Structure 1
Amino acid sequence: MKENGGTREGMTGRPARNSPPGMTELLLVRHGESQGNVAATTAHQSGAHAINVPARDADVELSGAGREQSLALGRLLAGFPADRRAAVWSSPYLRARQTVELAIHTGGGQTQPLLDERLRDRELGILDMLTSAGVEARLPQEAERRRWLGKFYYRPPGGESWADVVLRLRTLLADLDRLHPGQRVLLVCHDAVILLFRYILEGLTERELLDIAASSAILNASVSRFVRPGGTGPWQLESFNMADHLMSEGVPVTEHAGDTNVHPR
């Protein structure tokens, strides 16, 4: 699946006019399939109220398929020209760290990934480990509030809204531009984070972002690519949610979508 991205004037994550050049290419990778992905999908399909995950979210490991996907990702990265190897940053969550470590080892690279908590998954607070059915049954007032506000602005008690995540990603982008001028940068993170990078870099509206979220599941170990020749000006989306490197090797392509009921009521 390939998609061309548009841009708008405004807060799109690009440097201000007359600022020094920054990154020229940004690769966004979702971590490989995790044990939590498998448990969540099983719980949703069975109508369970809770997701049976034996660890806190930050400590959930890759599944067997996730490890295969990470190795295939490493072989893709190994094909990059030596002079175009990327600086690598990762969410500190274990499933992301395992993805990048396996990929780098397989690709024969010596790069040490930089961990940054701003790339972590969205904090769910009181909703953590609950399915949609569980929220409806156990926290009906929160379920109603979530429907009313929509996914972008709904903040569960003790957690984050998508708008909150956007704020931390904007600061990260500024740091990446400052630290990696003229470079390709690869970020290993989470599905919601990748969608919110699209919101920032393309200058999407809330409606446009939620339309994408409702219709597109970010595949495990997929790659989305933005380019900005010269390190200034608007970002262009060259490809989105690509998993050709998995399919070409016969590695499982796994789709674990979140709640698609994302628009405000």
Structure 2
Amino acid sequence: MQENNHNRNHHQHHSWKPLPKRIILVRHGESEGNLDTSAYSTIPDHQISLTELGHAQARLAGSHLRDLISCHGSSSDWRVYFYVSPYERTRSTLREIGKSFSKKRVIGVREECRIREQDFGNFQVEERMRVIKETREKFGRFFYRFPEGESAADVFDRVSSFLESLWRDIDLNRLHIDPTQDFNLIIISHGLACRVFLMKWFKWTVEQFELLNNLGNCEIRVMELGHSGEYSLAIHHTDEELLEWGLSAEMIEDQKWRINANRADSNDHSSCYLNSFFNHQLDSDDEDVKEVDIDSYDDTKKMV
């Protein structure tokens, strides 16, 4: 009996872990490439810098993030941890955002290559890239792979790998989360990487991904921890915002469910997606199922 109690306590100790109160995705500020696509023909993608407006957008985003975290927390003692793409425009965005946070509030910063921009291949020929992007729109944004580059599916794979590492960091408390503090993860990345991050996290289908609109420059997506351990976009964002971003009514309903959802119930809740794959439902295993004629089955096997 004592051994069973010890095992139960041991399991509870190791199954509990402090979680970030928020995971916040931020797209970089306006870049020279956003302003003029011909910039890609002379400057490597990872070296494209922010415009003056982009710097201003990032500073404003930093102020907004600090207000969001400090004014909507359960504790006045809060901390942040940053992940950033290695591209110049994301690193510059982080520098501007960082001006709103004192060193006391920042636990750490990590450059993470797996959340970099989608590789679009050879940008040198501008007209060729224009035609290729038009072709992508015809064939679908998720599976279409740019010549010498990546598809959104490729980005999904490396973002998924990053998420696995992130969960290990949280599970082993490598981020040094103090349960008495409100802990916030801020990920500064790119539009597509942010969308596939959400797709992976919320288990959205390819069809649902195709509905999503890109984030604007320095636009944010706040995933906040619900009462029972699930993250939801619906805690911080309104229905109108979610609709504007391309979420369907079903996806929005799922976000609302997550606010009070128990993680253990997620498998039952996922049954709502069955209608996407099956056009009938059976009340029991026996209903509408015809008996199999064993003799006919044996005869069929002999014919094969």
Fold shared per TM-score above 0.5: yes
Contact 2:160 2:200 in 1 (8 A): yes
CA distance in 2, matches of 1:136, 1:222: 25
Query: Cα offset for 1:78?
Result: 3.1
Residue from 59, 66, 88 that aligns with 1:71: 59
CA distance in 1, matches of 2:39, 2:114: 25
Query: Cα offset for 1:120?
Result: 0.4
- Structure with larger RCO (C-alpha < 8 A, sep 6+): 1
CA distance in 2, matches of 1:157, 1:99: 29
Q: How does 1:86-235 map to 2 (within 5 A)?
A: 86-109=80-103, 111=106, 112-126=108-122, 128=123, 134-135=128-129, 144=135, 146=136, 149-180=139-170, 183-212=183-212, 216-229=213-226, 232=229, 234-235=230-231
Equivalence for 2:296: none
Query: Cα offset for 1:34?
Result: 0.8
Change (3 A) 1:136 1:85: closer
Query: Cα offset for 1:240?
Result: 5.9
- After superposition, the CA RMSD in angstroms is 3.0
Contact 1:29 1:186 in 2 (8 A): yes
Query: Cα offset for 1:149?
Result: 3.8
Residue correspondences, number? 206
| Unmatched tracts of structure 2, length 5 or more | 1-13, 71-75, 178-182, 242-304
Change (3 A) 1:147 1:73: closer
Comparing 156-165 with 115-124, which one deviates more in the overlay?
A: 156-165
CA distance in 1, matches of 2:226, 2:168: 16
Contact 1:35 1:53 in 2 (8 A): no
Identity %: 23
Equivalence for 1:26: 23
Contact 1:33 1:63 in 2 (8 A): yes
Contact 1:59 1:93 in 2 (8 A): yes
Equivalence for 1:262: none
CA distance in 2, matches of 1:194, 1:136: 23
| Unmatched tracts of structure 1, length 5 or more | 1-17, 41-49, 245-265
CA distance in 2, matches of 1:121, 1:56: 12
The structure that is helix-richer by fraction is: 2
Change (3 A) 1:76 1:143: closer
Which has more radius of gyration? 2
Residue from 44, 48, 51 that aligns with 1:60: 48
Change (3 A) 1:103 1:240: same
Query: Cα offset for 1:77?
Result: 3.2
Q: Secondary structure at the match of 1:68?
A: helix
CA distance in 2, matches of 1:202, 1:64: 35
